[in-house]
Chains A and B, each alone.
Chain A
Amino acid sequence: EDQVTQSPEALRLQEGESSSLNCSYTVSGLRGLFWYRQDPGKGPEFLFTLYSAGEEKEKERLKATLTKKESFLHITAPKPEDSATYLCAARPPTSGTYKYIFGTGTRLKVLA
């Protein structure tokens, strides 16, 4: 069964304390691994798409990487405004559609 698991469920960091969030997936023939940021009371906001093992994408303090079994979202020198829930999703090779399988997210809190 296709599955996406995120860890940890919650993470508290001091401002400037770098860390990584994990997204493990069991999806054969992955057609894309997606990262989103979700602020309280809002819809998920698209961050990155990764398609193949070894690929990396960066945006400000965030860098996403992909291996054959997992993806990491690295946060370098985080600031309080990086506090949010980070979601990952995998797209299996279902023809004709773009359905995702979502993880349950990592709630990140960055303390000033």
Chain B
Amino acid sequence: NAGVTQTPKFQVLKTGQSMTLQCAQDMNHNSMYWYRQDPGMGLRLIYYSASEGTTDKGEVPNGYNVSRLNKREFSLRLESAAPSQTSVYFCATGDSEQFFGPGTRLTVL
């Protein structure tokens, strides 16, 4: 029972490159979330999915897209990375309390 897994753990991109962050959960939750965490800013919601087949924008969605592939998997895509997207990205799942993955540390040069 792994809980919430995220890949990759670390990534360095050049400006303009694209990448997809993967998240999977085995907790059988309907809702999944993507956050970014920056110093002094706290956790900010990028996108969320209340159930399989639905996605909605959070507080800071610009520059990102998401796919809820099935009940277990929720991916976050950066189509054209920018230095402002350098951050730590967390996936979470939960239908009341939220449970977080270990994070992806992304640097955009």
Contacts and interface: CB of A to CB of B under 8 A. Distances in A.
Interface residues of A, number: 21
A21 interface: no
Interface of A: 32, 34, 36, 41-46, 49, 87, 89, 96-100, 102-105
Given A87-B43, A97-B31, A98-B94, A45 B50 contact: no
Interface of B: 4, 31, 33, 40-45, 48, 50, 56, 58, 90, 92, 94-103
Given A100-B43, A102-B42, 15 more contacts: A36-B100, A41-B103, A43-B103, A49-B96, A49-B97, A87-B42, A89-B98, A98-B31, A98-B96, A98-B98, A99-B48, A99-B58, A102-B44, A103-B42, A104-B42
A43 B48 contact: no
Contacts of A46: 97-99
Nearest to B50: A97
